[in-house]
Structures are given as structure tokens and as C-alpha cells.
A and B are shown apart, each in its own frame.
Chain A
Amino acid sequence: MDVVNSILQNDIQKKDTHKSTVVNKDTEIETDLGTLLALDYNALDLKALKSQPEEYLRSLTRDNVQILINKIWELPVERVDEVTVAKLPKQEFILPRARQIPKAKLLTKWQQFAKEKGIKTKRKSKSKVKWDEELQKWIPTFGYKRNKAIEQKEWLVELNNEGKAAENPFADAKAAKEERKSKNELQRLRNIAKAKNIKIPKVGLPTKEHFADSQQLSQAMTIARTSTASLGKFQDRLPKEKDAKGIAKQVPGMKRKAEEVPRNLQEEKKRNTNLADNILKSNTKILREDFSVPKTKPAKAEKSKKKGKKAAKAKGIKKPKAGKGERNMRRKVGGRKRR
């Protein structure tokens, strides 16, 4: 009887699958309740998938979700405020990360130094305002109100040096602040360059050599192509390769594009006024003002500790030479042994 009953029940369930909570699968599906994940390893019914893809997929999904929910009901269930609640277990399935793990930020030069020396800054939670004893007032740490407060505080500056009486201490302070600001900016940019592995000079500002642009590349390409005995006449060009602009003077055999000639006097006048405007606007100083230019020293190669060793190392490369007028018995000198 039991067997017959069970078969009958199965039959009823097969007819009316939407209402049943029992789902039969050939192979058990894998579930992870922590992440509410179900993995179905059963083979797809290709016929049904091709004939009625939407319906088939919907029913398949429904079945699998049903299994997942059945599993959740197996968990210990509580009732909190008229709502049935189940506590999910810890996740077992490890989800792969979508993006790369971000790299740690490189330390700035100061941070690195502080770390090496064990210097710790006393960083408390910085408040936006500070109590000023002199003015008996709360003063913000930055912004226009702080500057106004400082103006109020330092309306008079004592001059103790007679020789420097003519100078303006306010202007000096302002200039010094500008100097500090620009120094800080330079150091900030240096730190960025260091973090991004960009080469910059040790002293002074970077020039065009440090940041090569596409124009330089095309110039180099043009010069390289025309540097044959036949001035590049038989050299193939890359597809869409054009001659670099502005180097026609230096490259022999390259034709300069003729300048557009103004048609009448009005046009010429317009061109001239435009040129004058450009000259007046341009950043390049036509007038040499007396500003001081920091002199940059060429970076020296690191000196080896002992000169004698260096000479011995270079033995294989350079032609051996005698003492060069210096008599040094200890120094090992290459060359033929004379008897």
C-alpha cells in the first residue's frame, strides 16, 4: 500500500509541480546558505531548452530556489516580532574578487624618514577652531576668518634692526609664506613623481627632456629616416607616417610648406597685430629682468671609495697604461712587464 500511495503522490506532484515543495534532482545540488548560493550540476534538457527556453529556464530556476528555501527552513527558526527569522551560517563558498587588490600607497619622503627615525607626530583630532588668548575669541585654523584674525593680531610689528628699517616686514612675511607654499608644492610633486617612477632632475625643475612628447618622437623618427646616404629617399614610410613639423631647416631635402601670403594690406595688418598680441601675451620674457636663476650642477657619478680598485677593475676594458707620471709603488699597474 505504501508503495502505491507514494507512487500516487508522486504522480499528483508531477502534474502540479508549482505547488509542491519537494523537488527531485538526479544529482543533489550544492548549496551554500551563508551566501544564499545554489550550484546545479545537472545536465540541461537540451530539447526543452531549444523549444521553450524561457519557460524551461524559469521552471529550473524555480526548482533550485525551492531547494535553497527548503534548506533554510531546516535551520533553527526563531520568531522575532511576528516575523520568522533564521540565522544563516557562515559562508563556505569563497567569492572571487572582481578587481585587483589596491596597492599600498608609497610613503612620502618625510613619512619614510619619520618611520626610519621613529618620529611620531602628535596627531590629535584636529579641531576646526582654536582659542586665542590674545583676542579672547575662537579662531578657525584656516580660511579668511583666520587671516582676518591674524591681521588684527599683528597690526604692528616691532623693528629691532636699524639697518633693515627700510624693508617692509609685512611684505617679507608674505613673501616667506609664498616661498614655503611653493616649496611644499614642489615637494608634493616630487613625491608623486617618485611614487609613479618618473625621472626628474635632482636639482631644479624638469625640462622637456624629462617629459618627451609625441612631437619629439615624430621629429626623431623623421630625422632617423632621412639619415641615410640618400637622405631617406629609398626608405619606406610607415602607414600614415608624416614628416615632423618645424624641422625642415635642419633636415636636408625636406620641403618647407610655403607660408600663406596675406592678400592685401588689411590682411597683413591683421596678421601683424595678431603677432604683436602673441608676443605681448607670450610667457617667454623678452625683457631680461634681474631675477636670480638657480644654478644647477650636473649630477656627478658616485665616487668609488678607492681609486686603486677602480683602476684594477678597468683593466679588461681600457688599454693598460703606465703610471701617468706618478710614481706609486703600491699601485698595481697593468701593461707589459719590463725587465
Chain B
Amino acid sequence: MKRLTEEKTKLVLEKLTKYIGTNVKLLLDRPDGVYCFRERKGRVYYVSEKILSLASMVNPDKLTSIGTCFGKFTKSGKFRLHITALYHLAPYVQHKIWVKPSAEQQFLYGHHISKSGLSRITENTPQYQGVVIFSTNNIPLGFGVTAKSTMDCKYADPMATICFHQADIGEYIRSEDSLI
């Protein structure tokens, strides 16, 4: 369990701000105790202070996971969010996309969202903004990046991609072994 260096923390926080903007401060400054980032084998974990002290009892070689895995550092040094971070992103996210029930499965199989599958989108979403995808009954399904801004969505043709897929909850089954 390593502390993140300042550079790496910056990368993580920058990635988080792409999705939740100024709400990133709420993740760091929580009323229910101190939370921090820890790194192990390239994975970044978001851990509360209590669990961290408990985890110190466990032999680090045997420890599989701790707290919430937020993502990993790629070999080229970039930070990539995992679907496991969704639970912490979804409540704070500023731009949302709702998909139609018919397009839910497509998205959960790892496909981009096309205009035909789009049910609703937050007003004033710019292009290439990190968004969280919800089902029509407000269950977070995953996250992605908008391919078109809200204004452009209006005039896009039905097959045009609106949102690029990044992660979805189907990954819990599809890539079970590589997630953690």
C-alpha cells in the first residue's frame, strides 16, 4: 500500500474532475471520516481511514483489494477509471445521459450510445465531457464521454454516436478477472 505521489494524485484528481467537476472536493473532504488514495500494483484504491488501519494487519501479499478500486495507471502513465468507481461518481456527476430501456442491453455489452438509444441528456453538456449513463429508472449503468454536445444532438442522425462507451456494469461479469 503506497501513498500516491503528488504527480499521480494530480492525474487521478484531474480524471475525476472530468466527470464530477468541483464536486471532487466532496470526495476528499467528507464528513464521515478521512478518506485517502492508496496505490497497489498500479491500482488506485479509495479507502477510509478506518479500513486502512484494519488492512495494515493483513499481509500485503495476500491482500486482494481494499476500499474501492477507482482505476489503474496504464503502462504509459495515464490513469484510467474502472467501473468500480461508479458508486462514488454517480451521485456527484454533473452531466448525465439517460438511455432508453431498449438500448440498455446494447450499452451493457460494451457498445457506444447512438442517438436512437438516447432518452434524455443534461442541458448544456459540451462535447467530450465525461458523463455517467443512467437507465430510465435512474440506475447508474456506466460512464463515458460525449461525442456530441447537447445542441449537436438535436440535429444528429439516429445512428450517430452520442456517447463513447468507457465502462459499464456489464464488466463485472465480462472482465471479472482483470477488474481487480
Contact = CB atoms under 8 A, between A and B. Distances in A.
A287 B126 contact: yes
A212 interface: no
B18 interface: yes
Interface residues on B, range: 20 to 34
Contacts of A266: 34
A273 B23 CA distance: 11
B116 interface: no
B10 A275 contact: yes
A306 interface: no
Interface stretch (A187-195, A217-225, A257-265): A257-265
Contact of B6 (A275, A277, A287, A289): A275
B68 interface: no
A296 B157 CA distance: 33
A278 to B, nearest CB: 8
Contact of B3 (A262, A276, A289): A262
A287 B129 CA distance: 6
Contacts of A275: 6, 9-10, 13
A178 interface: no
A290 B10 contact: no
Given A261-B3, A268-B3, A287 B10 contact: no
Contacts of A259: 5-6
A87 interface: no
A271 B36 CA distance: 11
B25 interface: yes
Contacts of A106: none
A261 B3 CA distance: 9
A273 B22 CA distance: 11
Given A269-B34, A272-B28, A275-B10, A286 B17 contact: yes
B127 interface: yes
A330 interface: no
Given A259-B5, A261-B3, A265-B49, A272 B128 contact: no
A288 interface: yes
B17 A279 contact: yes
Contacts of B3: 261-262, 268
Interface residues on A, range: 20 to 34
Contacts of A287: 18, 126, 128-129
A288 B128 contact: yes
Contact of B127 (A268, A271, A286, A290): A290
A279 B14 contact: yes
A289 B36 CA distance: 30
Nearest to B27: A276
A249 to B, nearest CB: 11
Contact of B22 (A269, A280, A289): A280
A290 B34 CA distance: 38
Nearest to B6: A259
A280 B22 CA distance: 7
B6 A271 contact: yes
Contacts of B5: 259
Given A289-B126, A290-B149, A279 B10 contact: yes
Given A271-B6, A272-B36, A287-B129, A279 B13 contact: yes
A269 B52 CA distance: 14
A269 B29 CA distance: 8
B166 to A, nearest CB: 15
A68 B33 CA distance: 93
B122 to A, nearest CB: 14
A290 to B, nearest CB: 5
B126 A290 contact: yes
B9 to A, nearest CB: 6
A272 B126 contact: no
Nearest to B152: A290
B24 interface: yes
B79 interface: no
A219 B24 CA distance: 35
A236 to B, nearest CB: 33
12 contacts: A262-B3, A271-B6, A272-B37, A273-B29, A275-B13, A276-B13, A280-B25, A286-B14, A286-B18, A288-B128, A289-B126, A290-B127
Given A272-B9, A280-B21, 8 more contacts: A265-B36, A268-B36, A269-B34, A280-B25, A286-B14, A286-B18, A287-B128, A290-B126
Interface of B: 3, 5-6, 9-10, 13-14, 17-18, 21-22, 24-25, 28-29, 34-37, 49, 52, 126-129, 149
